[in-house]
Every structure is written in structure tokens, then in C-alpha cells.
Chains A and B, each alone.
Chain A
Amino acid sequence: MQREFGDSLLKICTNPKLQEALDSILIKAEQDLSAVETIQVYYSWIRTELEELASDYLNTPTNVHTNEIIANESFFKEQLSYLWIRLQSDWIRYNNLANFKLLIEDKEDFTLQSKAAICSFFIQPIGLLLDKEIVNENLEFVYNLLNRSELSTDSII
């Protein structure tokens, strides 16, 4: 079970369809060289995050009580959930900003468009590995951070 989850994470990173998707995006963005570099860096960042999460998970001890194994799996699903929420948030933000620029400035921002597309390609396979209850708890936790007392003051620290 443990290896299965970790391997599934790694499979996302090595899925040839993702590389194909990236290539198709880079072809579209090639008229803007700075965009190409930024897109590659962003894609690498997501891959690295997933690979490191998988590596950390696969390196957790397995010769422990079943309860510990289950706890570890829940912990890593929690971390994966936060990454997924981050990617969802990035996708929505980049998609919306790209379209705002197109509407207001009549300007195509390939960097924003491509970052949004890259996020959307990762969102689905990661989503399949998530525990919906954990995602819900994470979202509630993030929302409740709004109620922290320091946010009601003028202080920025």
C-alpha cells in the first residue's frame, strides 16, 4: 500500500503525456523566449515538489506498527492535498490574469497562459490520489486562518 501511493506520485512525474503537453505548450510560447524559460522553471518546480514528496514518503520506515503506517500515509496525503490546493489556486489565478490582460490590454501573456495550462495538467492526476475528507479539512483550516487575531489589527507582522 505504501509503495503503491509513492509510486503513483512518481508515475505522475514520468507520465509521457505530461511531457507531450509541456512540449505543445512550449511550441506555442516559442515566440517569447523569456516565457519559455519561465515555463520550464515552473514545470520543473511542480515535478520536483512531487518527486521529493514521493521520495520522502517511500523512505519512511515500514517496519512499524500498522497504525503508524496508516498515520504516515494520511500525513503525506495531507501534504499532497496542500500541493493540489496550491496548484488549483495557481491555475485559477494565472488563467484569470491571462484573460484579464487579453481583455484590458489586448495582450497575450504566454507565460501566464502556459503556467495555467501546466497546472491544469497536474491537477487531475494528483486529484485522483487525494482523500476528499483531508482536502476539505485542509481548506477549512486555511479558511479559519482568516480568523487569526493578528489579521484584525493593522500590524503586518
Chain B
Amino acid sequence: MIHTGVLRSFVPDNMLSAMPQLTAPLADNLPFGVVKLDEHGTIIIYNNYNSKEFADFHGKSVIGKNYFTEVAPCANNFIFSGRFKRGVAAKEMNFVFDYVFTYKLAPTKVRVHLFRDHAGNNWIFVKKH
């Protein structure tokens, strides 16, 4: 892995190793945000936690939209999407960092975990502080 950051992830280790099996219904039951993306940033899975906590970001349907430009444009910079793109290019990504969302909501601090599983799926995990 190229980066793990210095912060601790809120995602259990055993879950990370089982990520390729995570389906949308299973993700909906998790107590943190889960977004599965293709290599371009297009959303494949977007769980209930995200829909509930960050509803102001987007309309009802976000599947098929680009996470960085259409859903959470406050993440479209070298800090966030830049790391995602570099991780996809390197085919490995495991980075935890704190971030503040400022798009159409009062500043909201979150912890973010960018992760690429062993099957090559790209994930963004988000949890409010």
C-alpha cells in the first residue's frame, strides 16, 4: 500500500479484507458512509448513511453520477480527488485523513478513508466526527 496516513480508520480491518463481497443492501446497514466508485469516480454504490447525513449535496439518485464533480464537488481537489486518482493509477490506495465538507451545509468535519480492495474496487468511507 502506498499510504495509510497517520490517522486511525473507523472501518474494521476484517471488513476491509472482505470488501469485494460488500453489496449495496449490506452497505446500507453500516454506521458510516460507503461509496463504491469506478476508476473515473462514477458512483456504483452509495449507502443510506451518505443519503441521510449529506442529503443536501445531491438529488435523490446519485448512482451513475461522478462523486467528485456532481455529488460532492467540495471533494474535487488535489487533497481528495487527487489522492483518489493517484491511488487508482497506482492500483493501490489506503489513506485516512480528516476533511471538512462545506457544500450547501454548515461546515461538517468528517474522517475519510480512501481504499482500493484486492479485487480492484475503489471505495470511499466517510464518518462524521
Known contacts being A102-B99, A113-B100, is A25 close to B77, with CB within 8 Å? no
A100 vs B98: C-alpha distance when bound (angstroms): 10
- B13, chain A: closest CB distance, angstroms: 24
Task: For B105, list chain A residues within 8 Å (CB).
Answer: 117
Main secondary structure of the interface of A (DSSP, over half): helix
Task: For B104, list chain A residues within 8 Å (CB).
Answer: 120-121, 124
> Total A-B residue pairs with C-beta atoms closer than 8 Å?
57
A21 vs B105: C-alpha distance when bound (angstroms): 8
Contact A98 B102 (CB under 8 A): yes
The chain A residue with its CB closest to the CB of B98 is A102
Contact B107 A99 (CB under 8 A): no
A94 vs B98: C-alpha distance when bound (angstroms): 16
Contact A95 B98 (CB under 8 A): no
Contact B79 A108 (CB under 8 A): no
A40 vs B33: C-alpha distance when bound (angstroms): 32
Taking the complex as formed, is A91 at the interface, i.e. its CB lies under 8 A from any CB of chain B? yes
Task: For A57, list chain B residues within 8 Å (CB).
Answer: none
Known contacts being A99-B77, A116-B74, is A28 close to B100, with CB within 8 Å? no
Task: For B107, list chain A residues within 8 Å (CB).
Answer: 25, 28, 98, 110, 113-114, 116-117
- A28, chain B: closest CB distance, angstroms: 6
Taking the complex as formed, is B32 at the interface, i.e. its CB lies under 8 A from any CB of chain A? no
- A121, chain B: closest CB distance, angstroms: 7
Task: Count chain A residues whose beta carbon lies closer than 8 angstroms to a beta carbon of B.
Answer: 24
A95 vs B77: C-alpha distance when bound (angstroms): 9
Partner pick for A24 among B77, B99, B106, CB 8 A cutoff:
B106
- Chain B 76-108 interface residues, beta-carbon cutoff 8 Å to A: 77, 79-80, 97-100, 102-107
Known contacts being A95-B74, A99-B77, A99-B80, is A117 close to B97, with CB within 8 Å? no
Known contacts being A100-B79, A103-B79, A116-B74, is A95 close to B102, with CB within 8 Å? yes
Task: For B77, list chain A residues within 8 Å (CB).
Answer: 92, 95-96, 99
Task: For B106, list chain A residues within 8 Å (CB).
Answer: 21, 24-25, 28, 114, 117
Task: For A116, list chain B residues within 8 Å (CB).
Answer: 74, 102, 107
A102 vs B100: C-alpha distance when bound (angstroms): 8
- Chain B 98-123 interface residues, beta-carbon cutoff 8 Å to A: 98-100, 102-107, 109
Known contacts being A25-B107, A95-B74, A99-B80, is A117 close to B98, with CB within 8 Å? no
A96 vs B98: C-alpha distance when bound (angstroms): 13
Contact A103 B97 (CB under 8 A): yes
A153 vs B75: C-alpha distance when bound (angstroms): 35
The chain B residues found within 8 Å of chain A, CB to CB, are 74, 77, 79-80, 97-100, 102-107, 109
